């Protein structure tokens, strides 16, 4: 028998962040995994980030997590998505070398002194007096602990489907985890089944690249981590992705396999991700569309495997290959491995608190796909929060809960707990009502103070972030005060087809114009010799934030006003021990939902579906008494 302060089950993206963060916070951590070399393995797409997901990675980094650093070290293409839209939705994404990503993840985990990687297959949780005390493995070995983080990914009773062929496993070539689900059900937890999928992998030498559309990375790529040294970035050679499309002929071929589809024959019971459907699901749901875009993405520098993004499928292998052979550029392609669907157990997330500690068993935390989410980034964010909270609990420190107005991570967890989910949850910018405040570029300024308090951000890096914040604020003040005379700027305004000014105007106000940018304004009027502005121009991250703050000043101000308006509700705490069933004035649905979710504040209570404004008023009156 061996004792750990914290046990983390599962070495995926959630388990990795949980184990590393809690160990760095001073806890003795055991990371229990069925395969120590599968730590941080990318089960599906070899990419990190994307729309809203890139925001999560930046926030993980700002709190002291490691996903962004690993992505920067192992990325083979970096792109900022949505640049044609407003800055609230700009999202960083990188294509990663799958093998190197996992190796880097293992090296980081293995380098931390008080983190032990243990090869073990857990099949039972040990609980005493509704508190977690340890685990039992299939080899009858007991490990004890003060807290446990369960981050099992797609492995709980995992089944893989290709056509009518079904095998057990949570990922290609890897066994499922059995016993844990029943153990939790025995303790009173409610479980469900979800589904995800992956596309076929193709041999790169069998693809006709010459006739395909290239998709290069950014000319001046930006890293995820605020700590990455730009002078050495990117660290690896950069690769192009390519684009192709399905067509009606391909759709007809795929339809031939529907009679053997595990989705359509009912063999798969779990619900799949609405926003990342399989190719067969797409052609049924979007029957009016004649084509669907596919991205051919390299899996790394030293591999022949190509990932067909957009072609996730569980149809028979021969149907997948026939359809691929009718796609432009893939006429002679060789399929290394067909796509498949994975069905697995999850636990509806109304059963966890905002700290991700379960409401039934003290000291037990759920993180990642076990809570019904999809995606590496959502999992890693939960793992980090669970790891921080487990360490805080053991060390007698306050709970760590991020508000919706502070971070996408706060939105993610608040949504899961209050709304629960019966389908894989995916993060989108539209889910964040304060998204102009929660931009990817300012994550360090928003959140690094927390990472520093948890000893996950070094004093030196915290100081650098503080200096950047001061540079931004001082520059904004200067540009609001600095006025330009008409004779000094009108020639530029003529050139830009922008309305002329009559006398003087501040740089701040002029920079709000859609046809002007801040850099050309500062350069044109030749005030770059100002020491403050010289420093600003040399710091691209700070410069971009200043320009965004000035251009969108009115919108940002209104969002802060909304946050402040509702802040009193967020700060009005509700005792977790409150029995709502005794409050007769509450509506019947309100009682049921409030008792189920156990909200921490009036703000959280107000976001629960079925809780009415009248219920909130009754709660406020009760709490005042």
Confidence of residue 272 (pLDDT cuts 50, 70, 90): confident
Q: Which of 340, 374, 398 is the last residue of a domain?
A: 340
* Contacts for 330-333: CB closer than 8 Å, 24+ residues apart: 330/202, 330/207, 330/208, 330/244, 331/208, 332/206, 332/208, 333/202, 333/203, 333/206, 333/207
Residue with tokens 């099992």: 152
CA distance 459 to 86: 33
Cβ(8)–Cβ(30) below 8 Å: yes
Residue 383: the pLDDT is 98
Residue 264: the pLDDT is 67
Same domain, 285 and 370: no
Write the pLDDT tens digit of every residue in 398-446: 999 999 999 999 999 999 999 999 899 999 999 999 999 999 999 999 9
Write the pLDDT tens digit of every residue in 558-617: 999 999 988 988 989 999 899 999 988 999 999 999 999 999 999 999 999 889 999 999
Same domain, 480 and 524: yes
Residue 527: the pLDDT is 67
Same domain, 178 and 206: no
Does residue 146 register a pLDDT over 70? yes
Write the pLDDT tens digit of every residue in 498-525: 999 999 999 999 999 989 889 888 888 7
Residue 396: inside a domain, yes or no? Answer: yes
* Cα 100 from chain centroid (whole Å): 20
Write the pLDDT tens digit of every residue in 302-321: 999 999 999 999 999 999 99
Q: Mean pLDDT throughout 470-483?
A: 94
Same domain, 159 and 229: no
User: What percentage of the chain carries pLDDT values higher than 70?
Assistant: 99
Residue 65: the pLDDT is 98
Same domain, 94 and 169: yes
- Dig out the tokens for 40 from the structure: 């941080």
Domain count, the chain: 4
Residue 52: which residues within 8 A CB-CB, separation 6 or more? 89, 91, 408, 427, 428, 429, 431, 432
Residue with tokens 């499928």: 313
Residue 276: the pLDDT is 78
Cβ(218)–Cβ(54) below 8 Å: no
Residue with tokens 């396999």: 257
Does residue 528 register a pLDDT over 60? no
Among 98, 139, 125, CA closest to 301: 98
Q: Mean pLDDT throughout 204-229?
A: 96
Domain housing 210? 201-340
Residue 563: inside a domain, yes or no? Answer: no
Residue 616: inside a domain, yes or no? Answer: yes
């Amino acid at each position: 028998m061996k004792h750990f302060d914290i046990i983390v089950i599962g070495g995926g993206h959630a388990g990795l962040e949980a184990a590393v963060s809690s160990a760095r916070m001073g806890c003795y951590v055991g990371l229990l995994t069925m395969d120590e070399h599968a730590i941080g393995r990318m089960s599906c797409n070899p990419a990190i980030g994307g729309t809203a997901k890139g925001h999560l990675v930046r926030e993980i980094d700002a709190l002291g997590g490691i996903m962004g650093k690993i992505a920067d070290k192992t990325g083979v293409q970096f792109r900022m998505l949505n640049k044609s839209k407003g800055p609230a939705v700009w999202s960083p994404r990188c294509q990663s070398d799958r093998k190197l990503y996992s190796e880097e993840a293992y090296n980081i985990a293995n380098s931390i002194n008080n983190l032990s990687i243990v090869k073990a297959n857990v099949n039972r949780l040990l609980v005493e007096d509704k508190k977690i005390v340890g685990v039992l493995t299939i080899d009858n070995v007991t490990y004890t602990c003060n807290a446990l983080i369960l981050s099992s990914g797609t492995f709980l009773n995992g089944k893989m489907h290709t056509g009518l062929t079904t095998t057990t496993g949570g990922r290609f070539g890897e066994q499922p985890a059995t016993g844990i689900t029943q153990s939790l059900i025995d303790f009173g937890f409610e479980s469900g089944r979800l589904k995800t999928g992956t596309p076929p992998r193709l041999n790169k030498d069998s693809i006709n690249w010459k006739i395909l559309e290239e998709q290069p990375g950014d000319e001046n790529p930006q890293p995820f981590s605020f700590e990455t040294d730009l002078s050495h970035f990117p660290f690896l050679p950069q690769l192009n992705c390519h684009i192709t499309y399905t067509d009606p002929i391909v759709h007809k071929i795929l339809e031939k396999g529907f009679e053997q589809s595990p989705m359509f024959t009912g063999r798969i019971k779990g619900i799949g991700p609405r926003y990342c459907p399989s190719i067969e699901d797409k052609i049924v749901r979007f029957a009016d569309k004649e084509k669907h875009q596919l991205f051919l993405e390299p899996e790394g520098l030293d591999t022949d495997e190509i990932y067909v993004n957009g072609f996730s499928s569980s149809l028979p292998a021969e149907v997948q290959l026939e359809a691929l052979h009718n796609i432009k550029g893939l006429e002679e392609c060789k399929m290394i491995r067909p796509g498949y669907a994975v069905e697995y157990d999850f636990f509806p997330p109304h059963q966890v608190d905002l700290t991700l500690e379960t409401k039934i068993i003290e000291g037990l935390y759920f993180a990642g796909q076990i809570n019904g989410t999809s995606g590496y980034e959502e999992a890693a964010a939960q793992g980090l929060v669970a790891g921080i909270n487990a360490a805080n609990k053991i060390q007698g420190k306050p709970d760590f809960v991020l508000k919706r107005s502070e971070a996408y991570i706060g939105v993610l967890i608040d949504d899961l707990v209050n709304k629960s989910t019966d389908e894989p949850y995916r993060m989108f910018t539209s889910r964040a009502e304060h998204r102009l405040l929660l931009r990817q570029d300012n994550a360090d300024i928003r959140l690094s103070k927390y990472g520093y308090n948890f000893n996950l951000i070094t004093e030196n890096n915290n100081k650098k972030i503080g200096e950047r914040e001061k540079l931004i604020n001082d520059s904004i003040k200067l540009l609001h005060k600095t006025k330009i005379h008409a004779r000094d700027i009108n020639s530029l305004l003529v050139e830009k087809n922008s309305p002329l000014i009559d006398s003087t105007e501040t740089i701040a106000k002029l920079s709000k114009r859609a046809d002007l940018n801040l850099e050309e304004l500062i350069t044109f009027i030749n005030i770059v010799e100002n020491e403050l502005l010289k420093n600003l121009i040399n710091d691209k991250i700070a410069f971009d934030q200043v320009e965004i703050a000035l251009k969108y000043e009115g919108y940002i101000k209104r969002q802060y006003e909304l946050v402040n308006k509702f802040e009193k509700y967020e700060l009005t705490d509700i005792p977790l021990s409150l029995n709502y069933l005794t409050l007769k004035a509450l509506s019947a649905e309100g009682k049921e939902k409030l008792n189920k979710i156990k909200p921490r504040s009036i703000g959280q209570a107000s976001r629960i579906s079925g809780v009415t404004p009248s219920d909130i008023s009754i709660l406020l009156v009760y709490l005042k008494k």
